[in-house]
Amino acid sequence: METLRVLVVDDETGMRLAVARVLNTYAVRPDESDEHAVNFTVDTAETGEAALEMMAAATPDILLLDMKLPGMSGLDVLREIRERRIETLTVMITAYATLETAIEATKRGAHDFLPKPFTPEDLRVAIRRVVRHLAVQREARRLAEEKRQVRFQFITVLGHELKAPLAAVEGYLQILKDGSAGNDPAVVGRIVDRALVRTEGMRKLIVDLLNMTRIESGRKRRDLAPADLREAAVAAIETAAPAAAARGIAIHLEAPERAPLVADRGELDIIFNNLISNAVKYNREHGRVTIAVDRADGLWRLRVSDTGIGLAPEDAQRLFQDFVRIKNEQTRTIPGTGLGLSIVKKLAQLYGGDASVDSQPGAGSTFTVTLKG
């Protein structure tokens, strides 16, 4: 059970004792669904000066502060708390809660008010509100921290993904510089080819990264206009045609004559290009890629199927996350940034749809994207 520290600041002895007695025997759940109740340990102070001294030693979670005190006033204490950046939730206790003092106290950081005189139940209600607020505050902090961690991890992986191709290219340049490659044109040619392959991979990663940042920041100027999914599919097929032809892979399109959608054409191109280039890359020699566009349940549905290596079920689940590339002997030499499918999913969600995969290891995969419109 968690125990919250409460500090009661009031010049009336009876009031301090009464508050301590009520809270010492009180326990509350921060949330109805919460299993763990919270209880309280109560310290008391007679003056604002004494309270500040106690707070310097140990910060209370909750401060019950009388507005009218003999030395410095409740408002003075609030100002000091603010200046010293003490993180505590303050409930003002006041006999004359005029609107002006309430506004002034709120301005100075008071969280709530408890008008005098109050019953034990009034006190418990006020404390329960504070505890709920603390729980919400903590949850918000936890989420912010989690977000920070995800971001940190993303940047760490990104750093590695950018460093690897750079190191490879540097290695090749060094070999050319020190002459260890000799004069064999075949060897020199392969060195240059590999360096170009790695710089191309790096450039694609940067393009994906910029696309993703734009999508995530929500600041990308989206050019929404009447577009056609069939046209977008045909353009992407043309882009993928040379790579497909090189490996004898046939691409088929099954789409209605017109497949209209109000969309950003650049975004549709990103979706199709990613799915079709994957279907070619992870296919077998002389395999087949089928692109089907149809409507289902009021959504456009794009399905891209291949006859390639497929995915294990546990890999399929991770596939849409950032930088996830399935590593095995079959995929070892296939280039990719690890961001393509993550981008596809984020874009699909921008259109009120989603992206998913259905796969048979060794037989092929079907990627499905739905788009509202």
Q: Report if residue 214 touches another protein, rule: CB under 8 A.
A: no
Residues 190, 247, 318, 372: which binds another protein (CB under 8 A)?
Answer: 190
Q: Which of 172, 272, 300, 351 binds another protein (CB under 8 A)?
A: 172
112-115/89-94 β-pairing: parallel
Euclidean distance between CA atoms 264 and 206, whole angstroms? 21
Least spacing, CB of residue 309 vs another protein, in Å: 14
Nearer to another protein, 14 or 179 (CB): 179
Q: How far apart are CA 328 and CA 330, in angstroms?
A: 5
Residue in this structure with the two tokens 């790096």, named with its chain if needed: 202
How would you class 60 by CB atoms within 10 Å of its CB: exposed for 0-12, middle for 13-18, buried for 19 or more?
Answer: buried
The residue within the footprint of another protein, chosen from 50, 181, 292, 324 (CB under 8 A), is 181
CA pair distance 206, 211, nearest whole angstrom: 9
Q: Is 168 in the site for another protein (CB under 8 A)?
A: yes
Q: Is 281 in the site for another protein (CB under 8 A)?
A: no
Of the two residues 182 and 298, which places its CB atom closer to another protein in the complex? 182
Residue 329 binds another protein, judged by CB under 8 A: yes
Buried b (16+ CB within 10 A) or exposed e, 339-372: bbbbbbbbbbebbebebebebeeeebbbbbbbbe
Kindly indicate which of the ranges 10-18, 172-180, 292-300, 351-359 contains the residues binding another protein, using the contact rule CB under 8 A: 172-180
From 226, 263, 249, 258, select the one nearest 353 (Cα to Cα). 263
Task: Report if residue 198 touches another protein, rule: CB under 8 A.
Answer: yes
180 forms part of the interface with another protein (CB under 8 A): yes
Window contacting another protein (CB under 8 A); options: 103-111, 142-150, 178-186, 266-274: 178-186
Yes or no: say if 77 and 52 are a contact pair by the CB < 8 Å rule. yes
Please, what is the Cα angle at 308 between 197 and 339, to 5 degrees? Answer: 50
Q: 258 or 327: whose CB is closer to another protein? A: 327
Does 162 participate in binding another protein (rule CB under 8 A)?
Answer: no
Nearest approach in angstroms of CB 193 to another protein is 10
167 binding another protein? (CB under 8 A): yes
Pairing of strands 2-9, 62-66: parallel
The residue assigned the tokens 């994906």 is: 208
Quick one: 97 or 191, whose CB is closer to another protein?
191
Interface residues for another protein in 331-350 (CB under 8 A)?
332-333
On the 0-12 / 13-18 / 19+ scale of CB atoms within 10 A, 25 is exposed
Given 194, 204, 230, 301, the residue binding another protein (CB under 8 A): 194
373 binds another protein (CB under 8 A): no
Among 175, 241, 253, 350, binds another protein (CB under 8 A): 175
The string of DSSP letters for 114-141 reads: EESS--HHHHHHHHHHHHHHHHHHHHHH
What is the binding site for another protein (CB under 8 A)? 167-168, 171-172, 175, 180-182, 187, 190-191, 194, 198, 327-329, 332-333
